Structure 1
């Protein structure tokens, strides 16, 4: 059994810093006119100083209290990212209630599950679409007494007595600073104030309980490692139901005083990135894959001189990055890099919104090492991080000046980390959660009697404590020949192509690895249009023999980077996009492997029957 890695504990926080609303109060006192939030509406950015940020939270807290919300109650938020989410969330925490996020992409049945399981008494909804879901499941969610809508357009003729708009909600309470101070003083930093529902890839989502003391300890541990400060800027765009976005929208900004930006919508993320140019940015692998695809495809359409210049700069930049990461630079590397930056990198980074970003991070899912190296070669030095909802969302991160590609870095936050005999990563320390809401059996399975959190991930730890994640313990493919393979590694190799949006590796108890592949419709559609290849729909495009030949060529390239036993020998193109409503994806857009395998069993079997005949 591998010995635990023991990082140094973080400095003890001042008691005034022990809750998220408490941190907001401190920032409002220290820098009342400093900008805490910026939100873009109809093309115009509006600023919220820390003072006003606190006033909005205090008003929300007073209204929640006036409407009967008490300590221990659950308050749900069904919305996209916006400032009102923060006001409602922190307002609920201020009165001792627990904030419960619900993905706004969830269908009504999934919304009902979270409301019913949590016993939420009040739910905030973004707009008419989300209100309709809550009204549809009213009979199944009797605990919900109030429904507050941020954007009431289209709901004025609704006769549900529980419904009120945000402005009327704020009028329910009386703003009282002394009362608010008493409520904050009554908060227990070790008492859970948030419920984060896991993605539910293998069953119903579980509600992980998070306490403010733990999440703030994690944020404080991150601060010196990553060089975070009040000068940092963040773009909030990933779902706030997910713990990863909570880290970058709540935990870090309220720890260091960074400014959080909210764009107009998820569709405007790329333009918002260019406009905000954040200094700190979390991108899930899909975001980085889309950036890579966008650049790759645009370069294919560029003029011959532009392509040659980009090829030289990216190839040279990659070689310099490899030497820098290996700590063996050459004398001319600095001059060559400055030339590449002048001719290519600067403009490209500005177009991607990454020019000012001193800390681009990837997490929440596995990512290809090749893709990371490609970005490093362009001067976008992405660092991998790792964590689970059950440990406050973060436990490991690569230090910016000591990144090791293929690892998620060393642990932080006074965590003990060790490997079980079978290679499972175990963690113990103050960041580990107290359990799941209303599920003692699952809680006991997650955290053993000695306090070790069983992550379910297989990993390896090097001599310096850097952790490498091999894959999910339950998802490792064991071929008929007895080889243990990581499906994530194989899938990431395939998704390195700009033409592949999703890939599902198949191979458990099979003689070889096969795959179900979903094309990237925009990229493949553009490819088809340039070849004057007509099509009418996603299904029609995916069924074209020319498209199959395109993906077959991309698969050959992907296989070159895989060991022989990992190489994909057969594939099928999906003629529909995987979707959450069909049970194929989770709310976080992770593939439900078992469900996909069940739904597409005939297609999977056809790959092996054909191979057996050939």
Structure 2
């Protein structure tokens, strides 16, 4: 049967000199052809075999996005082993948990920081036989351990094994089964320890057939002329879809961002044709536009405000027509493209984007409408690790803003009449949680329906709207059910607000903890000659509190009385994954926030704990 790794082999045979991957090397883009990519995948596979990796074993990858990530992932699949992605920001304790829970036999660690974490928790990884490091700086003279193997020596080991066993990879690949474990993707762990979702070769192939070959996202489907930018963690299913599996299935060219900080610059350099982002990315890009405008000359601000006003009108019309232009909006955009939109999109790195998507968390419709108005074809999509990201998506020309779109071909979706929970069933539904039989039974019904944990409703009988996570629904002291994410998204639509956590479960009224966007609020403060030294100092200023109060009041004006925020406090720090406040995918850990800022929450309720 086909698999991502067999597809890479076929691309290497059909177009060996075409570019498959690109990354920055000493500031210059370096190209990896399909022939080179496949060669390195084979060497990695042979090296795994030489280290004793057998079908069913697990290989962990702890690195930022780079070609070696995909090579190690596909090399593992070539020998019927499963990859385990570890987020680069995972602290040592979480690394130890993941290595222990997965029983990883080999760890590929990017640099000294990741190697240090591994050595700090070696006692929790009894199955580990080798740690392969990609960057040698600071490692060679730091540790004297037989566990360590450099990337160059790892590849050489693969060459030696191939010379002795030239047909080994082909023979192992020939025995691949649909039920083989392809990867363990660990859940974000917002309510407890992460669980390893088992995605099989069959699951991945189903996702490829629906999302790539059947064009459930793009029209026409992705192909070799498409470019993507890889920057979100590859340990997450969404980035795996757009970077690894789109590339393997359709032959798209993957360009690796240098870091999350350089994404804006890398977007401008690459000008991708397909672009995926979580809401935080789209919100950050929109905030960046606001920041640049505030610092421009009065003439540029006036011109920009005029054309952004036109874009707002275009966006409104597109929303009303499912994303389809009318004659008038097409004419307005054509004129605006010459005078403003082309330059703006070029600066954003979106001049060539033919398909853009937001997913993995709710997003404010206003953010999507902004990008639609300036000519970026935005689509909100929905999926999760447990269904290999195959659930729903807004299709070109059939967009319903505020929904996550239509059910994908071959997927069944129903909404429980009593609880409102969304359930899905398809060939992409995962095999269960690794060594978690009880959790698997709770997630999957005997007849294969997946409990998503999301509450939703039908819109016009065709599109699905996500209301909230079941565990996040707030039930006030008065018995009212409230969706906090809807209110939070309205607040975060402001370029001045980065985080918003609505509180009120079991309480008489709602309150919120709000985190400011340092860049935009900092720029705002500088224009008003408000000096500040730190995030804490800036967020404590009365003028900033007043700024946020105005935003809260504006949002409250459009809410029902029971949904309004009666009090708020600004967070004194930016939320951080390493401090246990965010998951690796930047989702807020509500329980951790409530505990960490318990005194502040109690104060907002007049000293009452409940």
Q: What is the TM-score of this pair, normalised by structure 1?
A: 0.94
Taking the TM superposition and a 5 Å limit, the aligned residue runs for 1:2-401 are 15=1, 18-157=2-141, 158-173=143-158, 174-175=161-162, 178-223=167-212, 224-225=215-216, 226=218, 227=220, 228-327=222-321, 331-401=327-397
Deviations 1:464-497 (A, max 9, x none): 5211100001111112222211111111111112
- Of 384-393 and 525-534, more deviation after overlay is shown by 525-534
**1:567: which partner in 2?**
564
Cα distance in 2, alignment partners of residues 74 and 93 from structure 1: 10
Three-state SS of the structure 2 residue aligned to 1:172 is: helix
Taking the TM superposition and a 5 Å limit, the aligned residue runs for 1:596-607 are 596-607=593-604
Cα distance in 2, alignment partners of residues 153 and 407 from structure 1: 48
Three-state SS of the structure 2 residue aligned to 1:294 is: helix
* Ranges in structure 1 where 5+ consecutive residues have no aligned partner: 1-14
Residue 381 (structure 1) shift: 2.3
**1:544: which partner in 2?**
541
Determine whether 1:469 maps to 2:466.
Answer: yes
Taking the TM superposition and a 5 Å limit, the aligned residue runs for 1:588-603 are 588-603=585-600
Cα distance in 2, alignment partners of residues 95 and 517 from structure 1: 48
- Of 302-311 and 421-430, more deviation after overlay is shown by 302-311
Residue 334 (structure 1) shift: 2.5
Residue 582 (structure 1) shift: 2.3
Q: 1:405 aligns with which of 377, 401, 404?
A: 401
Residue 510 (structure 1) shift: 1.5
Residue 329 (structure 1) shift: 6.3
Evaluate the alpha carbon distance shift between residue 325 and residue 169 of structure 1 in structure 2; reply closer, same or farther with a 3 A threshold.
same
Residue 413 (structure 1) shift: 4.2
Cα distance in 1, alignment partners of residues 360 and 126 from structure 2: 34
Evaluate the alpha carbon distance shift between residue 378 and residue 177 of structure 1 in structure 2; reply closer, same or farther with a 3 A threshold.
farther
Residue 101 (structure 1) shift: 0.5
Cα distance in 2, alignment partners of residues 392 and 265 from structure 1: 25
Residue 316 (structure 1) shift: 1.9
Residue 551 (structure 1) shift: 1.3
Deviations 1:387-432 (A, max 9, x none): 0100012321111222111111112141111011211000112110
Taking the TM superposition and a 5 Å limit, the aligned residue runs for 1:420-569 are 420-421=416-417, 422-569=419-566
Residue 134 (structure 1) shift: 0.3
Evaluate the alpha carbon distance shift between residue 127 and residue 330 of structure 1 in structure 2; reply closer, same or farther with a 3 A threshold.
closer
Asked if 1 retains the 8 angstrom alpha-carbon contact of 2:319 and 2:369, the reply is: no
- Of 305-314 and 418-427, more deviation after overlay is shown by 305-314
Aligned pairs, how many? Answer: 596
Residue 352 (structure 1) shift: 0.3
Cα distance in 2, alignment partners of residues 208 and 339 from structure 1: 49
Residue 588 (structure 1) shift: 1.3
Residue 87 (structure 1) shift: 0.8
Three-state SS of the structure 2 residue aligned to 1:425 is: strand
- Of 372-381 and 97-106, more deviation after overlay is shown by 372-381
Three-state SS of the structure 2 residue aligned to 1:582 is: coil
Asked if 1 retains the 8 angstrom alpha-carbon contact of 2:353 and 2:377, the reply is: no
Cα distance in 2, alignment partners of residues 363 and 172 from structure 1: 40
Cα distance in 2, alignment partners of residues 140 and 334 from structure 1: 60
Deviations 1:548-579 (A, max 9, x none): 11211222233334333322121001112222
Three-state SS of the structure 1 residue aligned to 2:605 is: helix
Asked if 2 retains the 8 angstrom alpha-carbon contact of 1:385 and 1:394, the reply is: no
Cα distance in 1, alignment partners of residues 538 and 608 from structure 2: 25
Deviations 1:205-245 (A, max 9, x none): 00000112222222221232312222111110000000000
Three-state SS of the structure 1 residue aligned to 2:229 is: strand
Cα distance in 1, alignment partners of residues 182 and 543 from structure 2: 54
Deviations 1:270-315 (A, max 9, x none): 1000000000010110111011111112222223332232222222
Cα distance in 1, alignment partners of residues 180 and 276 from structure 2: 28
Cα distance in 2, alignment partners of residues 326 and 58 from structure 1: 51
Cα distance in 2, alignment partners of residues 331 and 438 from structure 1: 57
Cα distance in 2, alignment partners of residues 346 and 191 from structure 1: 47
Three-state SS of the structure 2 residue aligned to 1:267 is: coil
Asked if 2 retains the 8 angstrom alpha-carbon contact of 1:493 and 1:559, the reply is: no
Cα distance in 2, alignment partners of residues 193 and 334 from structure 1: 45
Deviations 1:511-535 (A, max 9, x none): 2211001111222222222222222
Residue 597 (structure 1) shift: 1.0
Higher relative contact order (CA 8 A, sep 6+): 1
Residue 463 (structure 1) shift: 4.2
Evaluate the alpha carbon distance shift between residue 532 and residue 609 of structure 1 in structure 2; reply closer, same or farther with a 3 A threshold.
same
Asked if 2 retains the 8 angstrom alpha-carbon contact of 1:496 and 1:558, the reply is: no
